[in-house]
């Protein structure tokens, strides 16, 4: 029997090299019929009406599009039954459905395997043979295993491969809320091998551009060689001569020209040519020549970088009215290159809710979806809908769907206009319960939006963000400079600064912690900083210096789960204060508190009362750890819900313990900006909430309309419900009855 993993990875590699989805599905059915030794292999995917569209077939003849109506035929039966159907004579089965004009009658056996992704049947893989024999159990098992992986490969393919676009929903994780519709501007950071093919609109002009590029890069190489020449040893300077001679090589020059004449744009022509020569070198016997494939790859990247600097992202964006930035990573400088009023959304293949891209998007109020996975065959100007509210994007959206989403965008705009009038008003419920609304921050860019929306302080300053946007650990002075601007902007207002919370999903580019099997349970937050006490000491000194004797500094400790962590930190803080005072700095002892995000912290709070001045609930991590659900894993994202009954019960426990021990309490996770969750939080008596700036007006609007007594009654009712759906339904109903349904569209 064949090795399924090996066959699948070969298939995956071959598919990856093909440019269009049409070629890819063809390859899939051809390869599977060869691997399984069957006469026919067909791939069906479900459309939005649950009809099954034939994507490609090896063996069946069909002249036009083939669609099997929902629930019809053996294929429909596979979808309904959700298990393989493997029979020797298909035509004798009561559910047999003949596909007109397919000459299917020649094939007797039928084996259909459901393609399932995230619990939903998305299509069916069918193999058929002329012989009236069912597949052997081994072959069936092989196809079942293959299909479980295949479902992920084909899920985002456009259903119509003839150019009519279709609404393909792809799930990621929420980066920043809101909806945006726009055209893609690809953010690739210079790896030539990720450049897509694009049609070339002006062949002669592009060939001239290619020659100009060659001259420019020759020049750049000469300059680099001149300026570094004296410092270089012979072996390094020989690299320059290798590059120069490659740039003069007629074979390379001619190959790129030929690719352009074949209709590819310059970056695509360059990629194909460089790949071609790199492969040639790689196949050589001589180890010296074989190693030259790296030179040609480096040179290719150099050419691309030079080309892109003359065709910058800003220039590409300038030609598009509504820009969706998209790429493996979207950097802060990419975002900065697009004027704010043009930026409709951001899509990242990787990343998480807390990637600095997401944090910046939040601060700027730009919808963002992270972690959608690699999108193949992307083109500049391709249309996307970015739905940051649900953490999904729509690829190939139809005009009709865009119009529906546009309607939601317009409603949202009207709501925000209405809410801007609330800026100076207090967040007070109609029955007099006052809520302090703080903002979460981490970039200097989001300081002013917070103030603009009327934040009463910073409830969570994520210090890892200034660490993330650099190439190395910032010095005490660097940090002091950044923190000082925070205190200046929020003069007279409380600022809760969290010590460095890296590890898990928050990685520093210059200090990767990537060798852990369970990063979320690993070296992160205070565990990391106490093991790197020099970093913590530097950071605390910088905070104390920046706050001086006027800043209202509160130090917040992340991921605390043990008393020793607190006692060690207290010693360090005392030592930092002593040092600074000896140095003549007017440092004041700040208030210190813990994030309640590791469930173990809850039971310990009474013991910790003498070490801390306040607590802040990090509901994002607390929910993740209570539910054992990775909040940044798109596969389980739909199961993660901070309104889970267990989360609510535990939050209430924290509220009660904090009340008994007179510990001031706030909440700074995503819950604070979710209107449904806020009904519960106000209902259980939490009176300080911290959220991203753009969410603040909406929450204030809710609080001003929601009597606390009513919230408390709803909360009590929710305590008796055992599932998220019922709780959500009750909360939605509450909002509707208060005429606040528009807050959660
Ligand atoms: C949280 O866990 O809820 C929190 C606010 O911290 P972060 O999201 O930065 O992990
Ligand atoms: Mg956290």
Please report the DSSP string for 307-342 in residue order: HHHHS-HHHHHHT-SSEEEEES---HHHHHTS-GGG
Residue 366 is inside which H or E element, if any?
none
Maximum mean pLDDT: which of 17-21, 77-81, 183-187, 290-294: 77-81
- Choose one of 446, 640, 668, 670 to mutate for the ligand 1 pocket test, by most ligand atoms within 8 angstroms of C-beta: 668
Ligand lying closest to the C-alpha of residue 619: 1
pLDDT band at residue 229 using 50, 70 and 90 as cut-offs = very low
pLDDT on residue 387 = 95
41 and 148 Cβ atoms separated by less than 8 Å: no
Give the range among 71-80, 222-231, 477-486, 640-649 with minimum mean pLDDT.
222-231
Q: Is the pLDDT of residue 231 over 60?
A: no
User: What is the mean predicted confidence (pLDDT) over 350-356?
Assistant: 73
Domain 432-744 is in which class? Answer: alpha beta
User: How far is the centre of ligand 1, averaged over its atoms, from the C-alpha of 432 (Å)?
Assistant: 29
220 and 244 Cβ atoms separated by less than 8 Å: no
- Which CATH code is given to the segment(s) 4-154? 3.30.450.40
Tokens of 337: 């290159």
Classify 480 in phi/psi space as left (phi over 0), alpha (psi -120 to 50) or beta.
alpha
Tokens of 275: 């790949």
Ligand lying closest to the C-alpha of residue 506: 1
Fold of 168-187+313-396: Glucose Oxidase; domain 1 (3.50.30)
Q: Is the pLDDT of residue 388 over 90?
A: yes
Q: What is the pLDDT of residues 520-529, one digit of tens each?
A: 999 999 999 9
User: What is the mean predicted confidence (pLDDT) over 636-664?
Assistant: 95
Return all residues near 689 (Cβ < 8 A) that are at least 6 apart.
435, 436, 437, 438, 459, 666, 667, 668, 672, 678, 681, 699
Instruction: Give the residue with greater pLDDT, 745 vs 684.
Output: 684
User: What is the mean predicted confidence (pLDDT) over 704-721?
Assistant: 98
Residue 737 is inside which H or E element, if any?
helix 724-737
599 and 654 Cβ atoms separated by less than 8 Å: no
Q: Cα(first)–Cα(last) distance of the chain, in Å?
A: 53
User: How far is the centre of ligand 1, averaged over its atoms, from the C-alpha of 559 (Å)?
Assistant: 9
Nearest residue to 551 via CA among 465, 458, 479? 458
Q: Give 250: exposed, middle or buried? Use CB within 10 Å, 0-12, 13-18, 19+.
A: exposed
Q: From the alpha carbon of 462, which atom of ligand 1 is closest?
A: 9
Share of the chain above pLDDT 70, in %: 91
User: What is the mean predicted confidence (pLDDT) over 303-321?
Assistant: 77
Q: Give 531: exposed, middle or buried? Use CB within 10 Å, 0-12, 13-18, 19+.
A: exposed
Q: What is the pLDDT of residues 417-450, one digit of tens each?
A: 888 888 889 999 999 999 999 999 887 767 888 8
Half-sphere exposure of 556 (CA within 13 A, CB side): 28
pLDDT band at residue 461 using 50, 70 and 90 as cut-offs = very high
Q: From the alpha carbon of 618, which atom of ligand 1 is closest?
A: 3
Q: Is the pLDDT of residue 230 over 60?
A: no
Q: Is the pLDDT of residue 124 over 90?
A: yes
Q: From the alpha carbon of 670, which atom of ligand 1 is closest?
A: 3
pLDDT on residue 744 = 83
What residue owns the CA closest to ligand 1's atom 3?
618
Return all residues near 159 (Cβ < 8 A) that are at least 6 apart.
45, 47, 53, 55, 166, 168
User: How far is the centre of ligand 1, averaged over its atoms, from the C-alpha of 416 (Å)?
Assistant: 26
130 and 39 Cβ atoms separated by less than 8 Å: yes
Q: From the alpha carbon of 597, which atom of ligand 1 is closest?
A: 2
Tokens of 394: 């729509």
Q: Is the pLDDT of residue 218 over 60?
A: yes
Tokens of 555: 């130090």
Ligand lying closest to the C-alpha of residue 618: 1
Q: Is the pLDDT of residue 115 over 90?
A: yes
What residue owns the CA closest to ligand 1's atom 10?
621
Q: How far apart are CA 323 and CA 49, in angstroms?
A: 31
Return all residues near 527 (Cβ < 8 A) that are at least 6 apart.
503, 559, 565
pLDDT on residue 316 = 80
What residue owns the CA closest to ligand 1's atom 8?
620
Ligand lying closest to the C-alpha of residue 622: 1
What residue owns the CA closest to ligand 1's atom 4?
618
Active site residues: 356, 668
pLDDT on residue 162 = 36
Domain range list for the chain: 4-154, 168-187+313-396, 192-311, 432-744
**310-319 LR contacts (CB < 8 Å, sep 24+):** 312/337, 313/185, 313/187, 313/337, 313/338, 314/338, 316/185, 316/380, 317/185, 317/342
pLDDT band at residue 54 using 50, 70 and 90 as cut-offs = confident
**Domain 168-187+313-396 matches domain 432-744 at the CATH topology level:** no
Q: Is the pLDDT of residue 1 over 60?
A: no
Give the predicted TM-score (pTM) of the model.
0.73
Percent helix, percent strand, percent coil in the chain, to nearest 5: 50, 15, 35
User: What is the mean predicted confidence (pLDDT) over 531-560?
Assistant: 97
Ligand lying closest to the C-alpha of residue 668: 1
Q: How far apart are CA 71 and CA 61, in angstroms?
A: 23
Instruction: Give the residue with greater pLDDT, 152 vs 437.
Output: 437
**Biggest alpha carbon distance in the chain?**
94
- Choose one of 467, 501, 618 to mutate for the ligand 1 pocket test, by most ligand atoms within 8 angstroms of C-beta: 618
Assign 181 to helix, strand or coil: strand
User: How far is the centre of ligand 1, averaged over its atoms, from the C-alpha of 691 (Å)?
Assistant: 11
- Choose one of 358, 438, 443, 460 to mutate for the ligand 1 pocket test, by most ligand atoms within 8 angstroms of C-beta: 460
User: How far is the centre of ligand 1, averaged over its atoms, from the C-alpha of 561 (Å)?
Assistant: 15
Assign 154 to helix, strand or coil: helix
**Domain 192-311, what architecture?**
Orthogonal Bundle (1.10)
Q: How far apart are CA 305 and CA 308, in angstroms?
A: 5
Instruction: Give the residue with greater pLDDT, 362 vs 599.
Output: 599
Half-sphere exposure of 455 (CA within 13 A, CB side): 29
Q: From the alpha carbon of 619, which atom of ligand 1 is closest?
A: 3
Residue 51 is inside which H or E element, if any?
none
Nearest residue to 36 via CA among 28, 44, 46? 28
Q: Is the pLDDT of residue 376 over 70?
A: yes
User: How far is the centre of ligand 1, averaged over its atoms, from the C-alpha of 13 (Å)?
Assistant: 38
Nearest residue to 592 via CA among 670, 499, 677? 499
Q: CB 93: neighbour CB atoms within 10 A? A: 14
Identify the bridge partners of residue 494 per DSSP, sorted by sequence position. 552
Scanning 368-519, the segments in alpha helix (DSSP H) are: 399-419, 447-452, 464-468, 476-489
Q: From the alpha carbon of 669, which atom of ligand 1 is closest?
A: 3
User: How far is the centre of ligand 2, averaged over its atoms, from the C-alpha of 541 (Å)?
Assistant: 23
| Ligand 1, residues at Cβ distance < 6 Å | 354, 460, 462, 501, 597, 618-621, 668-669
Give the range among 33-42, 103-112, 231-240, 700-709 with minimum mean pLDDT.
231-240
3-state secondary structure 654-671: HHHHHHHCCCCEEECCHH
pLDDT on residue 311 = 59
User: How far is the centre of ligand 1, averaged over its atoms, from the C-alpha of 697 (Å)?
Assistant: 21
User: What is the mean predicted confidence (pLDDT) over 165-194?
Assistant: 82
pLDDT band at residue 64 using 50, 70 and 90 as cut-offs = low
Average pLDDT along the chain: 87
Q: How far apart are CA 520 and CA 459, in angstroms?
A: 23
Q: Is the pLDDT of residue 53 over 50?
A: yes
Nearest residue to 270 via CA among 187, 210, 203? 210
Tokens of 698: 């909406």
Q: Is the pLDDT of residue 310 over 60?
A: no
Q: How far apart are CA 557 and CA 569, in angstroms?
A: 9
Instruction: Give the residue with greater pLDDT, 54 vs 596.
Output: 596
User: What is the mean predicted confidence (pLDDT) over 337-342?
Assistant: 82
Give the range among 178-187, 562-571, 671-680 with minimum mean pLDDT.
178-187
What residue owns the CA closest to ligand 1's atom 1?
618
Q: What is the pLDDT of residues 356-375, one digit of tens each?
A: 678 778 877 899 999 898 88
């Amino acid at each position: 029997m064949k090795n399924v993993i090996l066959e699948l990875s070969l298939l995956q590699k071959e598919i990856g090299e093909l440019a269009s989805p049409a070629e890819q599905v063809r390859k899939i059915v051809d390869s599977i019929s060869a691997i399984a030794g069957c006469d026919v292999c067909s791939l069906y995917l479900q459309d939005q009406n649950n009809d099954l569209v034939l994507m490609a077939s090896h063996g069946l003849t069909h002249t036009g599009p083939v669609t099997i109506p929902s629930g019809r035929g053996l294929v429909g039966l596979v979808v309904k039954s959700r298990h393989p159907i493997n029979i020797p004579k298909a035509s004798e089965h009561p559910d047999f459905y003949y596909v007109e004009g397919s000459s299917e009658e020649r094939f007797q056996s039928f084996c259909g395997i459901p393609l399932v992704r995230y619990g939903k049947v998305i299509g069916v893989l069918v193999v058929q043979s002329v012989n009236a024999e069912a597949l052997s159990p081994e072959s069936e098992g092989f196809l079942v295993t293959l299909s479980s992986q295949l479902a992920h490969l084909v899920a985002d393919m456009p259903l119509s491969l003839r150019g009519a676009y279709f609404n393909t929903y792809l799930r990621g994780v929420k980066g920043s809320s809101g909806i945006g519709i726009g055209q893609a501007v690809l953010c690739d950071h210079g790896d030539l091998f990720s450049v897509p093919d694009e049609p070339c609109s002006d062949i002669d002009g592009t060939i001239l551009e290619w020659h100009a590029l060659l001259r420019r890069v020759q020049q750049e190489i000469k300059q680099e060689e001149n300026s570094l020449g004296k410092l270089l040893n012979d072996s390094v300077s020989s690299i320059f001569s290798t590059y120069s001679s490659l740039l003069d090589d007629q074979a390379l020059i001619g190959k790129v020209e030929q690719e352009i004449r074949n209709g590819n744009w310059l970056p695509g022509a360059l990629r194909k040519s460089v790949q071609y020569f790199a492969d040639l070198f790689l196949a050589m016997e001589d180890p010296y020549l074989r190693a030259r494939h790296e030179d040609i790859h480096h040179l290719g990247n150099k050419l691309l970088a030079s080309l892109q600097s003359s065709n910058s992202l800003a220039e590409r964006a300038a030609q598009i009215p509504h820009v969706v930035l998209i790429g493996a990573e979207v950097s802060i400088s990419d975002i900065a290159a697009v004027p704010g009023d043009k930026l409709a959304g951001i899509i990242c293949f990787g990343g998480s809710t807390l990637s600095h891209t997401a944090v910046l998007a939040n601060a700027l109020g730009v919808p963002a979806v992270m972690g959608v996975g690699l999108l193949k065959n992307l083109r500049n100007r391709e249309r996307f809908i970015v739905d940051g509210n649900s953490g999904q994007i729509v690829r190939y959206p139809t005009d009709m769907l865009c119009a529906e989403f546009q309607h939601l965008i317009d409603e949202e705009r009207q709501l925000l206009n209405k809410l801007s009038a609330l800026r100076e008003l207090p967040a007070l419920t109609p029955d007099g319960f006052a809520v302090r609304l703080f903002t979460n921050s981490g970039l200097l860019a989001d300081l002013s939006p917070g103030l603009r929306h009327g934040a009463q302080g910073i409830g969570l300053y994520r210090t890892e963000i200034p660490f993330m946007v650099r190439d190395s650990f910032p010095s005490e002075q660097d940090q002091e400079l950044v923190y000082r601007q925070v205190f200046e902007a929020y003069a007279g207002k409380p600022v809760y600064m969290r010590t460095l919370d890296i590890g898990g999903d928050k990685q520093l580019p210059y200090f990767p912690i990537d060798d852990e099997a369970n990063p979320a349970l690993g070296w992160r937050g205070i565990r990391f900083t106490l093991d790197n006490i020099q970093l913590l000491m530097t950071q605390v000194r910088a905070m104390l210096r920046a706050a001086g004797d006027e800043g209202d500094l509160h130090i917040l400790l992340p991921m605390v789960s043990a008393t020793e962590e607190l006692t060690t930190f207290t010693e360090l803080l005392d030592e930092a204060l002593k040092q600074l005072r000896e140095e003549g700095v007017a440092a004041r002892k700040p208030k210190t508190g813990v994030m309640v995000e590791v469930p173990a912290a809850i039971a310990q709070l009474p013991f910790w009362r003498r070490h801390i001045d306040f607590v802040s609930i990090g509901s994002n991590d607390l929910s993740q750890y209570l539910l054992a659900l990775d909040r940044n894993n798109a596969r389980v994202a739909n199961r993660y819900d901070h309104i889970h009954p267990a989360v609510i019960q535990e939050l209430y426990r924290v509220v009660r313990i904090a009340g008994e021990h007179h510990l001031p309490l706030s909440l700074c996770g995503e819950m604070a900006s979710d209107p449904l969750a806020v009904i519960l939080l106000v209902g259980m008596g939490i009176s300080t909430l911290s959220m991203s700036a753009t969410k603040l007006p909406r929450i204030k609007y809710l609080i001003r309309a929601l009597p606390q007594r009513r919230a408390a009654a709803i909360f009590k009712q929710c305590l008796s419900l055992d599932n998220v759906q019922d709780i959500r339904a009750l909360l939605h109903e509450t909002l509707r009855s208060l005429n606040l349904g528009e807050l959660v569209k």
